[in-house]
């Protein structure tokens, strides 16, 4: 039985990748063969690679979020397996698709997912932006998630406005008759004296279970997952 979980968020820049990396490592500790998959990314950057034997330099273009998913997967994956579709600009995928004349097709997303599923049994798929992020003028990311019948976890970045966004996100997911495994609260600011009030309010309104609360992480490259309590869907 393969687990395929889609990670969405209440907004962009609220820590989906950080939460995803923690979940991947936690699931790996439970004995799963884990794989991160970011089918579409925006904001790729040029990176220099120096081969140790020949000292020859080579440049590749990568998305940092996709690289983090690759590095936190327990199975060996090539970068292109993790992130098959990428765009250079920091704009929504459907805009970059129009600008760069590169169509985003749901079948390509599914092909990549099926390929990774041959190597792993616990797959975490990270979306882009929020639940209804468009892939074209007529198709959204949520359409593909529904087609694939993926289970969903949504990340709530604790900040002003998150209550409304979280309630709307869950209502949208449930309205599609999809399985929402739960939500994760992520403290994206170093000091927020009202965090407990936000979470308590969200618990009153959101039907799906709270899977965990991520503290503010100053250095996301040095995450001690043993100190982070989070429920991993099995």
Q: Is 107 a catalytic residue?
A: no
pLDDT at site 192? 85
Q: Find, among 186, 124, 196, the residue nearest to 155 by Cα.
A: 186
| Residues placed in the known binding site for substrate | 42
Please, what are the domains in the chain? 3-227 (3.40.50.300)
Q: Find, among 132, 188, 127, the residue nearest to 157 by Cα.
A: 188
| Residues placed in the known binding site for ATP | 13-18, 65, 126-129, 186-187, 215-217
pTM metric for this prediction = 0.92
Q: How confident is the model at residue 1 (pLDDT cuts 50, 70, 90)?
A: confident
Q: How confident is the model at residue 154 (pLDDT cuts 50, 70, 90)?
A: very high
Quote the Cα angle for 29-30-35, to 5°. 75
CA distance 59 to 48: 5
pLDDT at site 191? 82
Mean pLDDT of the chain: 92
| Residues placed in the known binding site | 13-18, 42, 65, 126-129, 186-187, 215-217
Q: How confident is the model at residue 73 (pLDDT cuts 50, 70, 90)?
A: very high
CA distance 167 to 158: 13
DSSP class of residue 230 equals B
| Pairing status of strand 45-50 against strand 57-62 | antiparallel
pLDDT at site 55? 60
Catalytic residue among 3, 4, 26, 38: 38
* Helix segments in 149-216, DSSP class H: 162-175, 195-205
Q: How confident is the model at residue 62 (pLDDT cuts 50, 70, 90)?
A: confident
| Residues placed in the known binding site for Mg(2+) | 17, 65, 126
- List Cα–Cα distances, 54 to 46, 84, 101, 234, in angstroms: 21, 28, 37, 45
Q: How confident is the model at residue 110 (pLDDT cuts 50, 70, 90)?
A: very high
DSSP 93-148: HHHHHHHTT----HHHHHHHHHHHHTT-SEEEEEEEEETT-BSSSS-BHHHHHHHH
Phi-psi domain of 217 (left: phi exceeds 0; alpha: psi -120 through 50; beta: other):
beta
- Report the range of poorest mean pLDDT among 62-66, 109-113, 141-145: 62-66
Is 201 strand, coil or helix? Answer: helix
Q: What is the pLDDT of residues 83-92, one digit of tens each?
A: 999 998 888 9
Residue 51 has pLDDT above 70, yes or no: no
Q: What is the pLDDT of residues 165-208, one digit of tens each?
A: 999 999 999 999 999 999 999 999 988 889 999 999 999 999 99
70 half-sphere exposure, CB direction, 13 A CA radius: 16
CA distance 146 to 144: 5
pLDDT at site 89? 82
CA distance 125 to 16: 10
């Amino acid at each position: 039985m393969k687990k395929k979980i889609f990670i969405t968020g209440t907004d962009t820049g609220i820590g989906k990748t950080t939460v995803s990396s923690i979940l991947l490592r936690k699931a790996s500790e439970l004995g799963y063969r884990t794989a991160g998959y970011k089918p579409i990314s925006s904001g790729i950057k040029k990176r220099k690679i120096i081969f140790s034997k020949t000292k020859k330099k080579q440049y590749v273009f990568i998305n940092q979020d996709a690289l983090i998913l690759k590095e936190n997967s327990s199975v060996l994956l090539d970068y292109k397996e993790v992130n098959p579709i990428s765009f250079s600009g920091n704009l929504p995928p459907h805009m970059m698709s129009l600008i760069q004349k590169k169509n985003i097709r749901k079948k390509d997303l599914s092909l990549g997912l099926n390929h990774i599923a041959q190597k792993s049994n616990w797959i975490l798929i990270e979306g882009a932006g929020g639940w209804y992020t468009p892939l074209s003028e007529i198709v959204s990311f949520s359409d593909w998630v529904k087609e694939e019948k993926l289970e969903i976890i949504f990340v709530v970045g604790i900040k002003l406005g998150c209550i409304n966004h979280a309630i709307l996100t869950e209502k949208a997911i449930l309205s599609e008759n999809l399985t929402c495994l739960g939500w994760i609260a992520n403290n994206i600011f170093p000091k927020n004296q009202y965090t407990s009030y936000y979470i308590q309010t969200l618990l009153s309104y959101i039907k799906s279970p709270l899977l965990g609360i991520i503290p503010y992480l100053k250095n996301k490259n040095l995450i001690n997952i043993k100190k982070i309590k989070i429920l991993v869907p099995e």
